[in-house]
Amino acid sequence: MIQNKAPGKDVSLEDMAEKFPLASKKNNTHFSKFDIGGITFGDSLIPIMAGPNMVESEKLIVETAINVKKAGAHFLRGGAFKPLSFPYRSDKYTETREEGIGWLGVAKKETGLGIITEVMEERYLDLICEVTDILQIGSRNMQNYPLISAAAKTKKPLMIKRHFGASLRDWLGAAEYALYEGNEKIILCERGVTVPHTHRDSSRFLLDLQVVPAAKEITHLPIAVDPSHATFWRPWVTPMSLASVAAGADSIMLEVHPDPENSAVDPLQPIDFDSFKKLMQSMDKVAHINGRHILNV
Ligand code: PEP
Ligand code: MN
């Protein structure tokens, strides 16, 4: 536990007492555990959220749901409302919005998997809440406090992705906005930060794995990691997922697509069903080293 200041980080004891008292640990062993649709976060299980970047079609999302479930995933991810980086659209590169939310509902019915999907605007909260089990606040909206407060008020669990330029202190501030509304089911997700240079031009972000143990010194909330968005590069997803589990991540979000190279969004990062199945087995082995598990074996 920190004394006056967390080692090398920007969080003080005063911050913990006054700026984010609800997000802060009360003692060394204080870690939140909560249930989302029968799956416990913050315990020995490391829930896996997997699926395509975008809910492209009903066929794609149902096929993906069936396959990730078969491999042991606990939640289906997929965006219908997407923070696409550029405004231009084609037949393929276009949000599926209300229709996409409906298709997530079909996939949920077919497989029983819980759903996590992004909300970008308050006016779509009611619609999205009809289907989703977890509301995703995307990295770009980490400091959209009115959106976080409104999402928290629905009482749906929230996963708040860290902005790629945010400090741990800022990230915990975002969590505090959600906790302040009386919503205790808040997950934080590291998804890569921007640094002056990364290892290749196409790798936009650097996975900040140190933030997992650093965050756990300060907060009791479960910390998820999304190696797909962080690496932006398929061959690095498996090693970084294993490293995330080793680092103590409480949940992993992964992009999985039936035909990764033809993903409508970010085609360099999703993995296929076979790679996902193998990765689940490898992550489970690493989880066992830390006394945790992913699969039921
Ligand atoms: C996503 O998970 O679909 C996404 C857009 O992630 P991020 O907000 O981390 O970029
Ligand atoms: Mn196991």
238-250 pLDDT, tens digit per residue, is 999 999 999 999 9
Q: What is the pLDDT of residue 204?
A: 80
Ligand 1 contact via 203 beta carbon (within 6 Å): no
Cα 109 to its chain centre, rounded Å, is: 22
CA separation for the pair 101, 256 (Å, rounded): 18
The DSSP bridge pattern shows strands 158-161 and 114-118 to be: unpaired
Residues 40-71: pLDDT tens digits? Answer: 999 999 999 999 999 999 999 999 999 999 99
Burial of 294 from C-beta contacts in 10 A (0-12 / 13-18 / 19+)? buried
**Atom 10 in ligand 1: residue holding the nearest Cα:** 139
| Residue of 262, 234, 237 lying closest to 60 (CA atoms) | 262
Residue type, 124: Y
CA separation for the pair 112, 201 (Å, rounded): 40
- Closest atom of ligand 1 to 83 CA is 5
As a whole number, mean pLDDT of residues 123-131 equals 98
Residue 90 DSSP code: -
Rounded to the nearest angstrom, the distance between the alpha carbon of 119 and the centre of ligand 1 is 11
Q: CA dist 247 to 222, 252, 279, 283, Å? A: 13, 12, 16, 12
Rounded to the nearest angstrom, the distance between the alpha carbon of 276 and the centre of ligand 2 is 16
Ligand at minimal distance from the CA of 291 is 2
Rounded to the nearest angstrom, the distance between the alpha carbon of 161 and the centre of ligand 1 is 8
Ligand at minimal distance from the CA of 49 is 1
Sign of the CA dihedral with 254 first, then 260, 263, and 268 last: positive
Ligand 1 contact via 83 beta carbon (within 6 Å): yes
228: how many CB neighbours lie within 10 A of its CB? 28
Burial 7-18 (b: 16+ CB within 10 A, else e): eebebeeebbee
Sign of the CA dihedral with 48 first, then 49, 53, and 58 last: positive
How wide is the angle at C-alpha 100 spanned by C-alphas 95 and 105, nearest 5°?
Answer: 160
Residues 145-198: pLDDT tens digits? Answer: 999 999 999 999 999 999 999 999 999 999 999 999 999 999 999 999 998 766
Rounded to the nearest angstrom, the distance between the alpha carbon of 291 and the centre of ligand 2 is 10
Rounded to the nearest angstrom, the distance between the alpha carbon of 51 and the centre of ligand 2 is 21
Q: CA dist 201 to 163, 196, 204, 205, 206, Å? A: 20, 11, 7, 10, 12
Q: Which residue has the tokens 């219908």?
A: 80
124: how many CB neighbours lie within 10 A of its CB? 16
- Closest atom of ligand 1 to 79 CA is 3
Q: What is the pLDDT of residue 35?
A: 98
Topology of domain 13-21+37-47+68-75+136-289, CATH: TIM Barrel (3.20.20)
pTM, rounded to two decimals: 0.96
244: how many CB neighbours lie within 10 A of its CB? 28
Q: Which two tokens stand for residue 174?
A: 């975002």
**Atom 9 in ligand 1: residue holding the nearest Cα:** 139
Estimate the crossing angle of helix 211-218 against helix 168-180, to 10 degrees.
Answer: 50
CA separation for the pair 118, 127 (Å, rounded): 12
Q: CA dist 43 to 112, 135, 169, 187, 294, Å? A: 22, 20, 24, 13, 11
Residues 198-243: pLDDT tens digits? Answer: 666 666 899 999 999 999 999 999 999 999 999 999 999 999 999 9
Q: What is the pLDDT of residue 7?
A: 43
Domain layout of the chain by residue ranges: 13-21+37-47+68-75+136-289
Rounded to the nearest angstrom, the distance between the alpha carbon of 95 and the centre of ligand 2 is 37
CA separation for the pair 225, 211 (Å, rounded): 10
